[in-house]
Amino acid sequence: MNNSSITLANIRDRDQNNLGDGYLKFFVNPRTPAILSMKQTQEAMVVSVESVTAMPNMPFGILGLMNWRSSIVWVVDLPKILNLQSPQNRPRQYSVIIVRTESMVLGLVVHEIIGTLRFNSDEIGSPVGQVASSLVPYLRGCIVQEKEILLVLDAHAIVHSSNLRSE
C-alpha cells in the first residue's frame, strides 16, 4: 500500500454501479487472506509503531492506544485475537484497519492491506469444514476461490471477543 491512509468513505461512494458489496482485502498474517465489509470499516492506514502507546496489564492481544482523528482508539493484534501465528520480528510500522460497530471503534493490526473487492452476499459460504473451527466465531463466512479461501470477518464478533477481556 503506497499511501499511508485510504479513506474508505470515498471508495464506498465511488463505483456504486458495480454489483456486489464492497470489502477491504488484507492478510491477517502472511498466509491468511481475509476481507471485512466496508460498512464496518472506517479507514485503512500504515502507522509507526511509536504512534501506538502500550498500556500496562492489558489482556493478551491488546497493543495499546492510538490517536485517530482526534479520538483515542484501542489497537489490537488481530492474528493474536484469532489465535493465528504471527511473525516474531518486531515491525517498524503497523498496517491498521479502523473498524466501527455501533458506537465502538477499534484498530486492527494486520500483516498487509491489499485493497478493495466486491462480492455478492450469495458468494459467501459457510466456513464450517473450510477453516479451523477456532476461527468460525469471528466469521460471517468464507469465499472459496481457485487459489485461496478468503475469510469474511465479522467486526462485531471481533470487537466483542472474549479474547479482548481481562481474565
- The whole-number pLDDT of residue 159 equals 87
Beta strands at 93-101 and 41-48: parallel, antiparallel or unpaired: antiparallel
Range of the domain at 110: 5-164
CATH code for the domain of 59: 2.40.50.180
Give the side-chain half-sphere CA count within 13 A for 65: 7
- The whole-number pLDDT of residue 152 equals 95
- The runs of H, that is alpha helices, within the chain are 8-13, 78-81, 155-159
pLDDT single digits (tens) 57-87? 888 889 999 999 999 999 999 999 998 877 6
Which range of 5-9, 22-26, 82-86 scores highest in mean pLDDT? It is 22-26
Place of cell 469444514: 129
Q: What domain count does the chain have?
A: 1
Backbone torsions φ then ψ of 2, nearest 5 degrees: -80, -40
pLDDT single digits (tens) 148-166? 899 999 999 998 886 666 5
pLDDT band of residue 3 (cuts 50, 70, 90) is very low
- The whole-number pLDDT of residue 64 equals 95
pLDDT single digits (tens) 120-149? 888 898 888 888 888 999 999 999 888 889
- The whole-number pLDDT of residue 160 equals 84
